[in-house]
A = this chain, B = another copy of it.
Amino acid sequence: MNTYSFDSLSEEASVPVLLDRKQRHRLLRKTDIIRAAEHVFALKGFHKATIQDIARQAQYATGTVYLYFEDKNSLYFSIVVEKIKRLLYILKLKTGQVTGARKKLETAIYESLNFFQKENDFFRILIQEESHWTIRRRMAKSAVTQDRRDFLISLIKETQAEGLIRKDLQPRQINDILEGIITASIFSLLEEEASQAKDLKGMVGTIMDLFLNGVKKK
Contacts and interface: CB of A to CB of B under 8 A. Distances in A.
A97 interface: no
B187 A173 contact: no
A214 interface: yes
Given A42-B135, A131-B128, A136-B45, A188 B214 contact: no
A211 interface: yes
Interface of A: 42-45, 47, 124, 127-128, 130-132, 134-136, 163-167, 169, 172-174, 176-177, 179-185, 187-188, 190, 206-207, 210-218
A217 B163 contact: yes
**Chain A contact surface mostly:** helix
Contacts of A44: 135
A79 to B, nearest CB: 14
5 contacts: A45-B132, A127-B134, A174-B210, A212-B214, A213-B216
Contacts of A218: 166
